[in-house]
Amino acid sequence: MSIVVTGATGHLGRHVVEQLLEKVPAERITAVVRNEAKAADLVARGVKPAVADYNVPETFDHLFAAGDKVLLISGNEFDKGRVRQHQVVIDAARAAGVALLAYTSAPGTLTAALADDHRATEEVLLASGLPYSLLRNGWYHENYTENLAPVLEHGAVVQAAGDGRISSASRADYAAAAVAVLTGEGHENTTYELGGDEAWDFASYAAELSRQTGREIVYNRVSVEAYAGILSGAGLPGQLATILAGVDVSVEKGELVVTSGDLSRLIGRPTTPLAEAVTAALKG
């Protein structure tokens, strides 16, 4: 029985594999990648590589085996038909008779267009009859802390989220939850609403940046249309800019506040505070 991780060299996937290596023998881990060279460091540690592409269904033929546990990390190609991509993996997993397929989804409360592909994938997975676990990941700290350069340059956090709050957590936290499900027992046919222990708003985020940098950082509220334009101006494709700006509408409505406590329970510790992610980003 293998633990198979798709998108294993992506931001989240790499965290998952690294944490799996702390819990299970490397030979029990299969890293599914499009480019094996990017997984060279993992292969050197004994992880088994498997080259496959969501857009080429036959590459998933015979990739899984009966009894495997699979983590399907949602694709990030918004223009390639993500539901169809995900179905390729689900169909292959069903044909093989895997023991569990865990899927990184979006919060159940999220109504933004970003959630549409996730809801549709959940429907495909539930219809497949596979034992499943829906990991409804909330927002990541890194969505904001990974690109602080423009914030520091202009002295402003620019968003269209009003006073809305976000229960974000670190990628490592969400990876730890996935690892707990993949290595634990009793997670079949479960749904976990995952988010950080403490919700925050952008005014408090700006205040934290000010505290840690010693500079005045303000929160600049803009319209959704203006924010989409800013994202487009930064180089994001128009469709993606609109989708991401739409998330801020959901933030203002409170749809990214998660109160279940599922994440800290699964990982057995408090979630990483936003302030720690800011510190790490400023050091990096």
Distance separating alpha carbons of residues 1 and 12, to the nearest angstrom: 22
Token output for 189: 């046919």
The answer, yes or no, to whether residue 219 has pLDDT greater than 90, is yes
Q: Where residue 251 falls among pLDDT bands split at 50, 70, 90?
A: very high
Query: In whole angstroms, what separates CA 272 from the centre of its chain?
Result: 15
**Which range, of 68-72, 113-117, 264-268, averages the lowest pLDDT?**
113-117
Mean pLDDT over 203-229 rounds to: 97
Considering only CA atoms, give the Rg of the chain: 19
Per-residue pLDDT at 7: 96
Q: In this structure, is residue 112 part of a structural domain?
A: yes
Q: In this structure, is residue 215 part of a structural domain?
A: no
Q: In this structure, is residue 237 part of a structural domain?
A: no
Beta bridge partners of 69: 3, 100
Question: Pick from 158, 152, 147, 279: which is nearest to 215 by CA?
Answer: 152
Distance separating alpha carbons of residues 186 and 167, to the nearest angstrom: 26
Q: Where residue 117 falls among pLDDT bands split at 50, 70, 90?
A: very high
Distance separating alpha carbons of residues 126 and 134, to the nearest angstrom: 10
Q: In this structure, is residue 153 part of a structural domain?
A: no
Beta bridge partners of 33: 51
Distance separating alpha carbons of residues 48 and 51, to the nearest angstrom: 10
Q: Where residue 1 falls among pLDDT bands split at 50, 70, 90?
A: confident
Per-residue pLDDT at 61: 95
Contact indicator for 235, 117 with CB cutoff of 8 Å: no
Per-residue pLDDT at 225: 96
Which CATH number characterizes residue 26's domain?
Answer: 3.40.50.720
The string of pLDDT tens digits covering residues 8-47 is 999 999 999 999 999 999 999 999 999 999 999 999 999 9
Distance separating alpha carbons of residues 101 and 89, to the nearest angstrom: 10
Q: Which helix (H) or strand (E) covers residue 107, if one does? A: none
Q: In this structure, is residue 43 part of a structural domain?
A: yes
Q: In this structure, is residue 234 part of a structural domain?
A: no
Query: In whole angstroms, what separates CA 38 from the centre of its chain?
Result: 19
Largest CA distance in the chain: 57
Contact indicator for 177, 194 with CB cutoff of 8 Å: yes
Q: In this structure, is residue 157 part of a structural domain?
A: no
Residue 188: give the domain boundaries. 3-138+170-194+260-267
Mean pLDDT over 224-228 rounds to: 96
Mean pLDDT over 202-208 rounds to: 98
Mean pLDDT over 55-72 rounds to: 96
The answer, yes or no, to whether residue 77 has pLDDT greater than 80, is no
Q: Where residue 284 falls among pLDDT bands split at 50, 70, 90?
A: confident
The string of pLDDT tens digits covering residues 152-165 is 999 999 999 999 99
The answer, yes or no, to whether residue 78 has pLDDT greater than 80, is no
How many CA atoms lie within 13 Å of 122's alpha carbon, on the beta-carbon side? 18
Mean pLDDT over 64-81 rounds to: 89
Q: In this structure, is residue 69 part of a structural domain?
A: yes
Q: Which helix (H) or strand (E) covers residue 135, if one does? A: strand 132-137
Per-residue pLDDT at 80: 65
Number of domains present in the structure of the chain:
1
Per-residue pLDDT at 96: 97
The string of pLDDT tens digits covering residues 253-278 is 999 999 999 999 999 999 999 999 99
